[in-house]
C-alpha cells in the first residue's frame, strides 16, 4: 500500500477523488488536508468531513491555509462550477458533519508524516498548493524525504480554465505553486492537458442513482450539477472533467498517463497570463527538468477503473 496525503478544496471533483481514494486498497490514506480554493477552508473541511461520513471513514481531516502563501489577490469565484456550498447546492442549510476536524494544522501534518516515513509518502494536491508550500518553507528537508508529489494543476499545452491561460488550482495561489516547483521536490503534473480528456457523461452518473444508497445519491446529485456547469461553460462537451480523480488514478496506476520530463515554472507577473504554467518545450531547454508532465492519458482505461470504485 502506498501511503498518501490528499490535499483538497472540496469541491465536487474533490469529493469524487476522495471517494475513489478511500475505495482503493492500493492506497493507505494517512489523512486529508484542506485548503481554500473552490470554497473557504472552513467549507472545504466541512465538505470533506461530510463526504467521509458517507463513506463510513474516520480518516483524519486536517484544516490548512485560509489564504494564499504570499500575496492575496481577488480570486475567481467557483460558485458556477461547484455551487454555493461547493457540493452542487446539495447541502441543506446549516448541515454539519458529525465529527470534528483535527486540531493540527495541515502544513505541520504534512511535515510530521513525511518525516516519520522517509521516502514513502506520496502527496496528492488537488487544490491551491499553499499547504505544501508552507510545509516546505518550514521544513525544507521534506523535499528529499517524500516519494512523490502528484499535482492536479496547470495547463502546459492547452488553454486554462480560470483564465485563458491559467488553471484554477495554480491561479488560486501562483506563488505557492511556483515555490513548490522551484523547490526540487519530485513532481508529477496532472494538468488540464490530460484531465480535460477524461470526461464523465451523465449516463454513467445515473448508474450511481440506481444503487439507491445515500452515497450514490449524493455523488449523482453533485455530479449532475457539475456536468450541467461544464455544458454551460463548454457547450457540447458531453461530460465533466475528472480533474482530481485522475490525480488519484495516477497514484494507483502511473501507466494511466504518459509523461515527459520538463522544466515548468509559473508566471507570477503577466497581466494577462498570471498563473500560467510555462513549460520549456524547446528541443534544448535552458534548465534541467523539475517535473514529469502528463501529456497523454488512456482515458477509457482510467474511466472504467474510476467507475468501478467511486460509488
| 24, 48, 122, 169: residue in contact with ligand RIB (rule CB under 6 A) | 169
Cell numbers 492547452 correspond to what residue? 158
Of 77 and 138, which CB lies nearer to Ca ion in the complex structure?
Answer: 77
Exposure letters 204-233 (e unless 16+ CB within 10 A, then b)? bbeebbeeeeebbbbbbbbbbbbbebbeee
Task: Pick what 173 binds: Ca ion, ligand RIB, none; C-beta below 5 to 8 Å, kind-dependent.
Answer: none
Q: Rounded to an integer, what distance in angstroms lies between the CA atom of residue 291 and that of residue 140?
A: 18
113 binds ligand RIB (CB under 6 A): no
Of 18 and 134, which CB lies nearer to ligand RIB in the complex structure?
Answer: 18
Contact string (CB under 6 A) for ligand RIB, positions 236-275, x = contact? -------xx-------------------------------
The site that binds ligand RIB (CB under 6 A) totals a number of residues, namely 15
Q: Which residues neighbour 28 within 8 Å (Cβ) at sequence distance 6 or greater?
A: 1, 2, 3, 4
Give me the residue whose beta carbon is nearest to ligand RIB: 168
Q: Is 275 exposed, middle or buried (0-12, 13-18, 19+ CB in 10 A)?
A: buried
Contact 162, 266 (CB under 8 A): no
175 binds ligand RIB (CB under 6 A): no
Active-site residue set: 243
Question: How many other CB atoms are found less than 10 A from the CB of residue 26?
Answer: 11
Helix (H, G, I), strand (E, B) or coil at 84: coil
Instruction: Name the site residues for Ca ion (rule: CB under 5 A).
Output: 9, 11, 14, 126-127, 244
107 binds ligand RIB (CB under 6 A): no
Of 127 and 303, which CB lies nearer to Ca ion in the complex structure?
Answer: 127
197 φ, ψ to 5°? -95, -10
Question: How many other CB atoms are found less than 10 A from the CB of residue 190?
Answer: 32
Cell numbers 508550500 correspond to what residue? 133
For the record, the C-alpha cell of 209 comes out as 442513482
Task: Pick what 161 binds: ligand RIB, Ca ion, none; C-beta below 5 to 8 Å, kind-dependent.
Answer: ligand RIB
First to last CA, the chain: 21
Bridge partners, 200 (sequence order): 240
Q: How far is the CB of 115 from ligand RIB (least distance, A)?
A: 27
Of 130 and 263, which CB lies nearer to Ca ion in the complex structure?
Answer: 130
9 binds ligand RIB (CB under 6 A): yes
204 binds ligand RIB (CB under 6 A): no
Task: Pick what 167 binds: ligand RIB, Ca ion, none; C-beta below 5 to 8 Å, kind-dependent.
Answer: ligand RIB
Q: Which stretch binds ligand RIB (CB under 6 A): 160-168, 174-182, 254-262, 283-291?
A: 160-168
Cell numbers 504534512 correspond to what residue? 110
Q: Which stretch binds ligand RIB (CB under 6 A): 164-172, 249-257, 268-276, 302-310?
A: 164-172
Q: Rounded to an integer, what distance in angstroms lies between the CA atom of residue 228 and that of residue 40?
A: 23
Q: How far is the CB of 167 from Ca ion (least distance, A)?
A: 11
Binding region for ligand RIB (CB under 6 A): 9, 11, 13-14, 37-38, 126-127, 152, 161, 167-169, 243-244
Amino acid at each position: 500500500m502506498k501511503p498518501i496525503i490528499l490535499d483538497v478544496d472540496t469541491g465536487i471533483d474533490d469529493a469524487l477523488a476522495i471517494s475513489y481514494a478511500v475505495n482503493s486498497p492500493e492506497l493507505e490514506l494517512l489523512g486529508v488536508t484542506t485548503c481554500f480554493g473552490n470554497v473557504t477552508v472552513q467549507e472545504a473541511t466541512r465538505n470533506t468531513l461530510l463526504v467521509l461520513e458517507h463513506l463510513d471513514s474516520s480518516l483524519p481531516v486536517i484544516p490548512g491555509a485560509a489564504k494564499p502563501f504570499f500575496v492575496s489577490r481577488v480570486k475567481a469565484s467557483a460558485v458556477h462550477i461547484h455551487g454555493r456550498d461547493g457540493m452542487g447546492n446539495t447541502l441543506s442549510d446549516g448541515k454539519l458533519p458529525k465529527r470534528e476536524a483535527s486540531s493540527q494544522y495541515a502544513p505541520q501534518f504534512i511535515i510530521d508524516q513525511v518525516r516519520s516515513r522517509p521516502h514513502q509518502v506520496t502527496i496528492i494536491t488537488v487544490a491551491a498548493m499553499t499547504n505544501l508550500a508552507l510545509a516546505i518553507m518550514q521544513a525544507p528537508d521534506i523535499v528529499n524525504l517524500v516519494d512523490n508529489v502528484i499535482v492536479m494543476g496547470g495547463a502546459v499545452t492547452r488553454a486554462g480554465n480560470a483564465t485563458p491561460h491559467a488553471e484554477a488550482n495554480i491561479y488560486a495561489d501562483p506563488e505557492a505553486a511556483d515555490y513548490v516547483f522551484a523547490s526540487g521536490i519530485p513532481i508529477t503534473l496532472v494538468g488540464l492537458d490530460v484531465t480535460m480528456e477524461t470526461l464523465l457523461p451523465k449516463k454513467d452518473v445515473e448508474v450511481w442513482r440506481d444503487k439507491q444508497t445515500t452515497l450514490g445519491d449524493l455523488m449523482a446529485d453533485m455530479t449532475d450539477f457539475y456536468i450541467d456547469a461544464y455544458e454551460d461553460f463548454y457547450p457540447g462537451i458531453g461530460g465533466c472533467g475528472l480533474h482530481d480523480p485522475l490525480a488519484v488514478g495516477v497514484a494507483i496506476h502511473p501507466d494511466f498517463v504518459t509523461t515527459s520530463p520538463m522544466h515548468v515554472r509559473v508566471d507570477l507577473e503577466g497581466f494577462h497570463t498570471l498563473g500560467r504554467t510555462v513549460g520549456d518545450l524547446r528541443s534544448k531547454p535552458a534548465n534541467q527538468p523539475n517535473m514529469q508532465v502528463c501529456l497523454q492519458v488512456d482515458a477509457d482505461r482510467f474511466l472504467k477503473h474510476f467507475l468501478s470504485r467511486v460509488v
